[in-house]
Structure 1
């Protein structure tokens, strides 16, 4: 081997070693593992874990397109001579956020519902807080719909006057048997005028609150619920009973209310009875005829009223449904209160996309 060959071999060896050292110096570190959103199946479908927490979140809501019709509608689609239009179309967007996680006291639940309605002129309305509540160990706190919001099938009945309150409640849920009690803030409910316009009207009161209690039991396909509410400031109350029973291809609903005098929970009439039958014609089509009778309507002695209605619901496809309803109401006329009495036909057509 000559000197030239030896030098070339040494240079090649040195180059190889240097290259290996350089390669070791620039090796990139492996990327940190990324935490993707994980499905949470502990509380039903639609929930996912908030990254980095054990809290499960669900986002849902609906978009509703509805046309109301009836004589002299106001901006809220209400009739009875409070407006000038015979029809109006309202579009509503509602967003609901539910959060749940397990604790040593049981499941901690919270709900926020935001709602926006477009008015008659087509202008977007202000977004309002429809619900904000949390619940744990049977106790519920916040701004939410009370048991008075529950009714019977169909769109005909009027079984509550107010049902959305700032409340504290406790519910015992034994499966087939349930019982609950709530304390509701009633301040802000009532008229601001100096004098009531009708016997069932009452003025705003400061420091007003109410107490409601509920009992419910189910046996087979029959469920009975009794609910009472006491308006502490006006010292009046109402009691309501609802019975539902699975009969044939549908469900029969019966309801009755008695009120001692006008109060925040019920001031439509002194007493009332209502019935409806929710008939499942097909998997997609539901037909619900209903009727209701009011005794001492608007708490006017001897003035009665009755109404009949039909509600038809149809599931167009997954997430999209239609609802149509028409109601006819007749109220006895009275010489004392000219704004009470007569008959009217009202209703609406609705398309709703749920998600």
Structure 2
């Protein structure tokens, strides 16, 4: 065998082996394209698209710890109590032919082991349907006034028209929950509310009227706030025909406060309130004064403190209450 024949034979053998290996080679599949979370800016900051959908989701909440003080507490002889809370909010939004379709879930967990639903409702075309806080939960900005109900969350249906400068609304609440003011604590009691409001320049006004069908009593409240100087001046007035689901503190009451924005991060709010026929007793009046202060320590971290003094006719001494709070928002 000459050298030429040997080279040709070797080349042929290598070609055959290479062909066999090529035939047996495993070809890796193309990787699936990765879907990254996309920012959704259609409904404000903090929203992102749920992968594979056109629905935008926002997750938020806070972690709060505070020390409460009440000199009338008698449990174990203590007059202060430290408490902590975690709160989560979920908001889902998408565009529809009826406008934005929104859904909300709020979850609250306290250090006593209590975890509960603090809101779950649907909003579309001005309607709110589900479990949410009513208009009586709103109030003045400080921590002194008592112009709302003890129980302000319920299953309800509500419609609100917001024209920018003018607002009008109507709501029907199922007054379930604890047995209060003659309520049996069942799911059969009904309350209705109406709202009128306007915002013009630095002035905002709101009027609420509510009727408790089970107690057969009504309650009314007006709030007026106005930007004045370095802060915001606020007034409120409440009238209740008798104790009912919406207001049970007194037959009538007036409150005032002035929120002073001392710096970009610090505010202080002195406030006062007077109660006529306190506890719906025509021989008893009461008054309350206090101050609330807040400071934004850094982005997402703030502190809030309040001190209040309340005096009721017929009681030997007034009562001091307050709290000191540290809260991380996200």
Q: Would you say same fold, with TM above 0.5?
A: yes
Q: Secondary structure, in 3 states, of the residue corresponding to 1:294?
A: strand
Q: Report how far residue 249 of structure 1 moved.
A: 1.1
Matching residue of 2:89: 96
Equivalent residues, number: 327
Counterpart CA distance in 2 for 1:181 and 1:295 is: 28
Counterpart CA distance in 2 for 1:329 and 1:319 is: 33
Mean Cα deviation higher: 233-242 or 7-16: 7-16
Residue 260, structure 1, aligned to residue 260, structure 2: no
Cα deviation per residue 1:85-132 (whole Å; 9 max; x = unaligned)? Answer: 21101010111111111112211111111111114xxxxx12111111
User: Is contact 1:205–1:233 with CA below 8 Å preserved after alignment?
Assistant: no
User: Is contact 1:189–1:264 with CA below 8 Å preserved after alignment?
Assistant: no
Q: Secondary structure, in 3 states, of the residue corresponding to 2:327?
A: strand
User: Is contact 1:68–1:87 with CA below 8 Å preserved after alignment?
Assistant: yes
For 1:265-284, list aligned pairs within 5 A.
265-284=246-265
Counterpart CA distance in 1 for 2:119 and 2:200 is: 32
RMSD of Structure 2 on Structure 1 (CA)? 1.9
Counterpart CA distance in 1 for 2:152 and 2:76 is: 24
Matching residue of 2:321: 346
Residue 186, structure 1, aligned to residue 175, structure 2: yes
Cα deviation per residue 1:165-191 (whole Å; 9 max; x = unaligned)? Answer: 111111111112111111001133434
Cα deviation per residue 1:223-277 (whole Å; 9 max; x = unaligned)? Answer: 1111111001111111110001111111111110111111100010000000111
In the TM superposition, structure 1's runs of 4+ consecutive aligned residues that sit over 3 Å from their partners are: 20-25, 81-84
Q: Report how far residue 211 of structure 1 moved.
A: 0.2
Residue 63, structure 1, aligned to residue 39, structure 2: no
Matching residue of 1:54: 54
Counterpart CA distance in 1 for 2:166 and 2:20 is: 76
Name the TM-score, length of structure 2 as normaliser: 0.94
Name the TM-score, length of structure 1 as normaliser: 0.87
Counterpart CA distance in 1 for 2:225 and 2:76 is: 36
Distance 1:83-1:251 versus aligned 2 partners, 3 A rule:
farther
Matching residue of 1:149: 137
User: Is contact 2:289–2:308 with CA below 8 Å preserved after alignment?
Assistant: yes
User: Is contact 1:72–1:83 with CA below 8 Å preserved after alignment?
Assistant: no
Matching residue of 1:215: 196
Counterpart CA distance in 2 for 1:342 and 1:208 is: 38
Counterpart CA distance in 2 for 1:32 and 1:21 is: 30
**Which stretches in structure 1 are left out of the alignment for 5+ residues?**
74-80, 120-124, 192-200, 334-339
Q: Report how far residue 341 of structure 1 moved.
A: 6.6
Counterpart CA distance in 2 for 1:153 and 1:175 is: 21
Residue 204, structure 1, aligned to residue 184, structure 2: yes
**Which stretches in structure 2 are left out of the alignment for 5+ residues?**
none
Residue number among 141, 156, 176 corresponding to 2:165 in the alignment: 176
Matching residue of 2:18: 19
For 1:326-341, list aligned pairs within 5 A.
326-333=307-314
Q: Report how far residue 82 of structure 1 moved.
A: 8.0
Counterpart CA distance in 1 for 2:179 and 2:147 is: 18
Mean Cα deviation higher: 24-33 or 43-52: 24-33
Counterpart CA distance in 1 for 2:146 and 2:306 is: 14
Matching residue of 2:111: 118
Residue 127, structure 1, aligned to residue 108, structure 2: no
